[in-house]
Structures are given as C-alpha cells and as structure tokens.
Amino acid sequence: MAQEGRAQAQYEPVAEIGGGAYGTVFKARDRRSGRFVALKNVRVTGTENGLPLSAVREVALLKRLEHFDHPNIVRLMDVCATARTERETKVTLVFEHVDQDLKMYLDKAPAPGLPPDTIRDLLRQFLRGLDFLHSHCIVHRDLKPENILVTSGGQVKLADFGLARVYSGHMALTPVVVTLWYRAPEVLLQSTYATPVDMWSVGCIFAEMSRRKPLFCGNSEADQLGKIFDLIGLPLEDEWPRDVALPRGAFAPRPPQPVQGVVPDMEPLGTQLLLEMLTFDPYKRISAFDALRHLYLQERGGDQG
C-alpha cells in the first residue's frame, strides 16, 4: 500500500481533464518539482499471481522509452501500483502534462483552417513520433485526434500508445464506446494486424486536419467499412483477408472516388500521400519511415527528417 500512499503524497490532483474508455485523467501538481503532470488511473484485472505479465511488460517498455526523450512522444514519468483486491490492481501512470490535444487545436483554428505549412509541420512531427514507436515494435492501435497532444509552441506529442493491452481488461468494465472512425479495415474485419493499422489512422487524421471534420463517421463496423469503400472503392477479391467475420460479398461493388472530392484544399502531393496511407492492403500501405521521405514532406518549412 506504500506505493499508493506515495502517489497521493507526491501528486496533488488539481482538475479532472478527461474521462475515456481507459479511465479518468487528472491534471495534478508534483509537490516535489511544482510542475503539472497528467495522472491516469487504470484498473488492471490480474491473474492468481498478480498483474498480468502483458501489462507489466507494456508499462516496463513505456518506462524504457523515457530514456530516449523523443520530442514527439509524451513522457511517462512515474508508475505507482497498488493491489486493490486480490484480482485487481490500480496502476497510476504519471505523464508530462500538455494543455491541449489535436481536436481542441483544430477546433480553435480560425477559418478557413490551418495553413498548408502548419498541416505539413504537424504531420511531419506526428510521423516522427510514430516512426520512433514502430522502430521499438510498439503499435499504438488507438490513434485519434484526442491522443495527439499539441503544446502551446506547436510541438506534437503522441500519447496513450502501447497501453491498449494494459487497458484491455478495464475496457470490458466501461460503457464508453471507443470510436471506429480512425480504425483500419483489417481491425474492423477482425483480421490480424500490425504497425500498418496506425498508418491508416494517420491518413484519417491527415484528411481531418485539412477538412476540419472527420473523414469516415461510421456507427458500426459494417457501416464504417461501407463509408471507407465509398471513397477507396470495394477492394479486389484477392486483397480481402481470409477467415474474417464479414465476407466481401456483404458489400456492394463500387469504384473509387477522386480523393480531391473529400479534401478539396489539399495539395496534389498531399493527396498522393493520403492515398498511400488509405490503402486497403496493409502490406501495400506506406510506413511512417517512408512517409517521412515522401515529396510532400520534403519541401518548404522545416528540416527534412
């Protein structure tokens, strides 16, 4: 119980800043340094031997990443764990605090929206953070504007990465619906997936930065897939994953539509990159590493990283 006492003694909650499928987030003050931090309390359902190994592994990996101090990754500064019952452990994750997320940042942007160079800069930073995660074999799995933090100086920091497995036990206990809007087709189809799922989400968010509203707003897995196919067309039979819940025949054939119709203000090189992100076949989808080297991100404003 000393661990919980330490969390309460060192971190003084100031305000609740959000609740989601993964529990409540508090803005708190670190009594030692005086700095603000973000506290996330997660209940992890344990096994007979305590915390599930997967959760311990994930948190240990996140702690290890802290040593790299990547500018586009939110820092996990502390972890406090307490056994609440024999089968459940409360874990308090202490992150650096950032005042706004990308959703708030986009909402605050005056008309007609973000300038093209700002979108390019945000995307470049976003991809650098993601390339760093992927190079350490971490799949985010839940990228959306609320998980991308933007500092007052315009620095992008990815948050809530690597925690999907830590949280999975807690997810079943909450009534919060996790949005489908940024999910890759292979996730919607319940097929196997890896790092390309994150690049699909990047594509959805990139389009949203340009159009200032979400790209695909489905209300079920099938509806979400239908909206995706309305834009990219019904994939070919040989691209459809095997042994999935929804057969290709469940969807009406349709041709792809010009992507300029949904992102009219995006430059041609941007729409080209967007299409490489919104590629149905995950094996053909562009990686974060390659996206950073795309011509769209090589010109104007900023260094070429």
Name the catalytic one among 121, 142, 160, 198. 142
Task: Please enumerate in sequence order all residues whose Cβ is within 8 A of that of 85, keeping only pairs 6 or more positions apart, or say none.
Answer: none
Q: Rounded to 10 degrees, what is the CA torsion of 271, 277, 279, 283? A: 150
Task: Please enumerate in sequence order all residues whose Cβ is within 8 A of that of 131, keeping only pairs 6 or more positions apart, or say none.
Answer: 287, 288, 289, 292
Distance CA 140, CA 198 (A): 6
- Phi, psi angle pair for 223, to nearest 5°: -65, -40
198 is catalytic: no
Length of the chain in residues, anyone?
305
Q: If DSSP codes are grouped into helix, strand and coil, which group holds residue 90? A: strand
Distance CA 61, CA 58 (A): 5
The Cα-based distances of 125 to 129, 150, 268, 305 in angstroms read 6, 10, 21, 9
**258 with 272: CB under 8 angstroms?**
no
Distance CA 249, CA 107 (A): 39
Distance CA 202, CA 183 (A): 10
Could you tell me the strand order of the sheet in which 88-96 lies?
11-20, 23-30, 36-45, 88-96, 76-83
Distance CA 147, CA 164 (A): 12
Active-site positions read 142
